[in-house]
Structure 1
Amino acid sequence: MPDHVDELERAFQQLKATIHQQLVESLDLTRFDERNQDRLLVQIRALADRVSKTRPEILGKLDRERLLDELLAEIFGLGPLESLMQDPTITDILVNGPYTVYIERRGRLELTNILFADDEHLLRIIRRLVARLGRRIDEVSPMVDARLPDGSRVNAVIPPIALDGPTVSIRRFGAKPLEMDDLLANQSIMPEMVEFMDAAVAGRVGCLISGGTGAGKTTLLNALSAAIPGDERLVTIEDSAELILQHRHRVRMETRPANTEGSGELSQRDLVRNSLRMRPDRIIVGEVRGSEVWDMLQAMNT
């Protein structure tokens, strides 16, 4: 572990790893799931109590509860990331190797005290994460870009592409997107800009939203979509579904990567072309950065 981790935290993490390994060796963890985790919790608590008697300086009462929570997250959830995923104020989780985890909260990056035991521990959590999504990550396919069930977008890169160890980037989205009134209230946008954009949408003018990473492009697009009349048919095309539109008459499409044999890919360009046959009133493309730009420009002129 890096030098900035104090000795007590090092000891706690080592103890947690030891107990987890003992659980793996003594129990068939595949027999347990979230429906019967109470049975497992009893056994974890008994093991933690036995260990705490030998290391009382590490496990106080609060630390014992923390240990139980983290062991359950290790078995059923996303390990050290589980607590971050439960925090609704966090918009980005950025893992730069096992010992450096940043979060973004209210537009500011913060270094956390979240740690993984080592590269292998982080890699195990990444593999569990992508396996739940029906994807795989290994040396042959060292990058994954996917969407979690809650709508969050996850990108993972492992060696040999990631030179300093496995990395994970998770972009999270609130259950309720910000509206124009919210953007006005926090002075993210001026009233004159809202009036202009509403007029552009009402006039069916083709619109392009551009900006840097994390600038709020998707947030603005979600808010702007409220100006689209409710009786129009919308078709959305995205790599990872992020748009949260309130319209009833909408069709959402998401690209698909190639399978392990290298076939079956459906690109944005394929979906843009197909959307023209779906009688759309509006086509909304979440993000363009390749050859699909040409097809999008053609679609904007139909």
Structure 2
Amino acid sequence: MSENLARESGSIDPTAATPFPTRASLRRAAQPSTSGHARRSVTAQSAGVSAPPVKRATGESRWRSIRSMLIMALVVPGIFGTIALPAYAFETTPAATTSPVYDTGAQSLIVNNWQGESVSRDAYSATTPEELSATKAALAAAAAKAAAAARAAEAKASSGSGSSGSSGGSGGYPYSTSDPELAAFLAGKSDTWIRPVAASISSPYGPRGLICNGAGCSNNFHDGIDFGTSCGTPVKAISAGRVTFTGNAGSYGQRVVVDHGNGVASIYGHLQTGSFKVSVGDLIEAGTVVAGVGATGVVTACHLDLKIGINGSFTSPVPYLASRGLSL
């Protein structure tokens, strides 16, 4: 009966020396097998017969396939990359023919008759801010002095042939520093100064824009003050003196000059043509009408241009007349 059970289970070989299985054979028989040869291998071992080869596990075969694919994925691109590498990627020039970058061999170039370009520099030799300010101020003063001299020369040239008589002078208007008759006439009268016209100042003394018309162009510095009023308005002498000029003064228009002695003169410009009320040589009082307001010379409208001259140079009429007690 035991023999029949063993045959049915297939785990005991009836031809084996020991018909009953050992513990080791039973354990091997109890382990799961991937094929139907497990029980037969136990029987073969019990009978002393070699069992047929068993196939390896499916997991090991799969890993081997993956490993092969990884190797091919790495090797094949490397082969193609090496073939496609450009030839100029490799150094073909012998090292002996390449100059080292640290070669510092000196070279010189000699040029005959060479002259360097001259560099134009400014005239400032100062270095501190204070010195620079003083230098600039000195240059500005020199420029202003030169401009004043130029204006005086122009005014003198303008007044030339228009004078019907004068006692000499410069700066574009005649005046006298030695006139005994005038000095005697002015005794007790030189302190009286009045306003030339009853109008307000329309253009002050100082820099201004150029004015041009058919008679020419004005200076960019106004040497007098303008009183805006209608043409024909009577113009009065601001103080007693002698008339030294009446006539045309070019860009200054029709003009009258009154000498007040001691090198001081008053000049009335842009007067109306034919409106002169005085003649050269006349001794007149303060307030005497000399002419009428006009628009002659370089002007934009009717007005009176009043200038004050001292020893041949123009000065601002407002502060000068204020020092004489006349507020404009």
Task: Using structure 1 for the length normalisation, give the TM-score.
Answer: 0.20
Task: Using structure 2 for the length normalisation, give the TM-score.
Answer: 0.19
Higher helix share: 1
